[in-house]
Amino acid sequence: MSDQYAVIGNPIGHTKSPLIHGMFAEATGQDLVYTAIEGRPGQFAEDAASFRAAGGRGMNVTAPFKLEAFAFATERSQRASLAGAVNAFKFEGERVLAENFDGVGLTRDVVSNLGCALRGKRVLILGAGGATRGALLPFLEQGPAELVIANRTVDKAQALATELRDHGALRGCGYQDLEGQGFDIVFNATSASLRGELPPVPATVFTADGLAYELAYGKGLTPFLRLAQQAGVRQLADGVGMLVEQAAEAFDWWRGVRPETAAAIARLTVPLC
């Protein structure tokens, strides 16, 4: 019988994870089946335990269950612990091992696929939610000159910066504090683009030779990316590379082989127009 893996989320109908992991399995000769599970609100633990009891070997976790997944785990990596959120499980006997590959996948996409080094750069992240928490440690490990978190609720951004202050040059602020500041790389980690909205960021934060990166994927030219384009930014990207790269990290963790990612990224890429 093939090894069983799954992704759990709600809603889950849009997920590309079964396609991605199917491509990885075929390319690496791994015998596995990867499915999608529509998790029930308030019953994440029961749903995850049911999949595990049925022989599941590992599981990806997406919104809105990453915090519940953190509580479900018996052992957490440093990345997962610092993020306070989990996006992947490995089931080994009584152990539920937890990881967070979101930030690792995002960093790999930016540095390796897009050729944009973070070292010595001024980096801005919009939003202080789970996506930002998962990205901070991998970003700081790259050695940026400064990493700034901007959020509507200033206290939340500042608290997050304080929590990780020992890992690098990090500060939190409100959107209104960004006036007059420019950054080499700007990430939109808010949910605004999912609603077709623009976070309240001034166009002056962008630099023409920098990178504007939308963590949402498959949305084309979002309001955030359109603002960056109008500000003269020449390198725009969405989160498809992050999606595929974090999947490759999980696949390697589960199976001991890291698949090539270029084909999956190419297949899922939507033109930014």
Strand ranges, E, within the chain: 3-9, 32-38, 56-61, 75-76, 88-92, 95-99, 122-126, 146-150, 170-173, 185-188, 211-214, 235-238
192, 166 in Cβ contact below 8 A?
no
Q: What is the identity of the amino acid at 59?
A: M
- Gap between the Cα atoms of 28 and 166, Å rounded: 39
Task: Tell me the DSSP string of 133-173.
Answer: HHHHHHHHHT--SEEEEE-SSHHHHHHHHHHTGGGSSEEEE
Q: Residue 146 contacts by C-beta under 8 Å, 6 or more apart in sequence?
A: 122, 123, 169, 170, 171
State yes or no: is 66 an active-site residue. yes
3-class secondary structure, 12: coil
Place of tokens 């980690």: 189
Q: Which of 66, 90, 121, 156 is catalytic?
A: 66
- Gap between the Cα atoms of 161 and 173, Å rounded: 9
3-class secondary structure, 242: helix
241, 220 in Cβ contact below 8 A?
no
For the annotated catalytic residues, the residue numbers are 66
